[in-house]
Amino acid sequence: MVAAVVNFGFLVLLVEAIRMKPELAAVVSYLVGGAVHYLLFSKWVFPTAANNAAVGFTFFTLLSLVGLGITWACMLLLHGYWGLHYALAKCVALGLAFCWNFISRKVLLFRE
């Protein structure tokens, strides 16, 4: 939840204050939220996982690339082509990427 708030907050900041295109802002904000997400997951959600931070972060990042693709595709389709407000498009993207990220990490990365 914290990572999602950071992710969404950066999106709004980048679009409203800096006037970045929403599709690009969604990618940047996803990356910022992803860093927060990693810290929270490794400390509190799956603390029993292996303690090799470099390897864990590398695999976490690789799995995140799919979530990044989901985010970009949702923003491109929902906002760019269909004209849905960028904030609503981002909410859909957050939900879909969250499902992918949680399941992939639980199954592939943070197992005992």
pLDDT at 29: 95
pLDDT at 10: 95
Q: Based on the number of CB atoms within 10 Å of its own CB, is 86 exposed (0-12), middle (13-18) or buried (19 or more)? A: buried
Average pLDDT for the chain: 86
Sequence-distant (≥ 6) Cβ neighbours of residue 67 within 8 angstroms: 30, 34, 97, 98, 100, 101
The DSSP symbol for 69 reads: H
Segment 69-97 mean pLDDT? 95
pLDDT at 111: 67
Number of domains in the chain: 1
Q: Higher confidence at residue 89 or residue 46? A: 89
- For residue 66, name the pLDDT band (cuts at 50, 70, 90): very high
